Structure formats: structure tokens, C-alpha cells
Amino acid sequence: MPPRQKKTTLSLGKILIFAATILIATYAWHSLAENGAIAGKDKQEHGQHAGPAYELLDVAMPDSIESIYVEYTGMKLSFNPRLHIPNWVAWELTGNETRGTVKRENKFFCDESVRGCAETYDYSYSGYDRGHMAPAGDMKWDPQAMHETFYLTNICPQAKSLNTGAWKRLEEKCRTWARADSSIIIICGPVVTDRPIEYIGDTRVAVPRRFFKVIISPYATPPRGIGFLMPNGKVHGGMQEAATTIDEIERITGYDFFHSLPDNMESAIESQCDFHYWSTIK
């Protein structure tokens, strides 16, 4: 993880410019929403999305990264057939969906329709958990969406200390934020540009060194975003130390998130890293 930047004192001029940018971005977002350019926040059903809100789940990637694009009921993802793990997984989570009652499954599957998908036995005796990218807990609103989170196209080898530690706590926080703000957009995955720690199983599934998660709350006033970068192990300092800007995650991964947003709004959201503000949301 890159060193945290030292705090600097901002001039009054810079503060005014930043405040003006936020106000413009907020006005632009709500204008788009009122005119129907962005799907309504009171959407009751998830399923197959449509419209520009769905486009927020798209990620622009370098051509050098192998990718098979896959859409499921509640998530879309880019799968890397060479590394046998996803490049990224994206989904929208609404407050209503966090209140679903579908029971969790616990059986993992190979998605045989996707070239390069790992087999369940690749993880056996490896010392790594089968770590969800889109968590089963976010898909309790639909049995098929729940089932599809257990496809190994949505799974990466994760150290137990990460999978049951800071990564799990961040998943739980996301549900809190979705209920507070009515809807959030989440994109996460391994940093595939890193050299893998090792390879496991007969399929030779890559074990990532780091994982990222980027989150935007498009219906907050003003809209906001934050990123997280976590090592594949114990996260010292927890979520707060792992917090960073979406801009920094883009620099590390080479991805371009939320590129369908107006440029001024994208810049304002992706430059933020106010963990204290997010952590106080209940």
C-alpha cells in the first residue's frame, strides 16, 4: 500500500474552488436524475438493470488485461481466464435489497460456460478461503442472484484473516450505507497487475497480493465516493488505514471507474477520501 499523504493546509481560494466543484457536481447529478437520465433511487426490483445507472457498473480496462465479460442476475464482472479469477465485479446495492430474506447458500460452483473458470477442488487444502467479491449477503433479495455469487467467477483466494476480518466488516458497512443513502454502487476485485503470491490447484488459480473496493453514493447530497486497498492478509489499522481515493485505485489498477458520469462530477467524487464522514453514517 502506498504511504499515506501528509495533511496540508489549504488556502481559502482552494477551499472555495473545491466547494464550488462539489456544488456544481451535485446540481448536475440531481438534474440528470430529475430528467430521467439516471435510474430512480426508489427502484424496488434489481434484476437486469437498464439506463445510465447500469452504465456506472462498467469499467474501462487496459487492452493488456485478458477479460471475459459476464452478466449475472445481480452483478456484472470481468473474468480473467489466464489467472482464473475476476478482474473486477460490480453491482448496485439498494436499501430495500439489504432487507431480503433469501437464505445463504454455502456450495460453490464452477461456471462451465466461462472459459478458464476454476474448479472447487482447486481451493481444497490450499490454506485460502474462497473469498466472495460480490458477497452473498448483498443478494438476499433473489434466489438466483444469491446462487450466482457462489460461481467461482466471483471468487478469489483470500487469507482467512482478510476474508473474515476487514473485508467482511467493509461488506457489512456497505449494507449500512446502502440503507442510509437508498443506493450505492460497488466495484471490487484483486489487483491483477501485481505479481501473484502463488498459484493453487490443478488449474493454477492466481493468489492476489491486494484487493480493492470502490464505492460511490450517487444519491447523497452531495454525491460522494471512497476507495479501499487491502493486502491479502491481516489489515493493520483496519478499514480506516485501508481507505484511499478512487483516483488512487485507478492509478494502481489502470482501470477507469464511473466514466459515464459528467467529468466534473466524476472528478469531485473520485478525489475524495473522507473516511470519518462515511464511518459516522448509520
Amino acid at 131: G
d(CA 19, CA 162): 36
Cα–Cα distance between 227 and 215 in angstroms, integer? Answer: 6
DSSP codes of every residue in 129-165: EEEESS-GGG-TT-HHHHHHTTBGGGEEEE-HHHHTT
- Whether residue 2 has a cis bond before it, omega within 30° of 0: no
Helices (H), 46-159: 52-55, 143-148
Helix, strand, or coil (residue 280): coil
Catalytic: 46? no
Site of grid cell 452473498: 136
Evaluate whether 216 touches 185 at the Cβ level (below 8 Å): yes
Catalytic residue among 46, 49, 84, 132: 132
- With residue 117 as reference, give the H or E element that holds it: none
Q: Which residues are catalytic?
A: 132
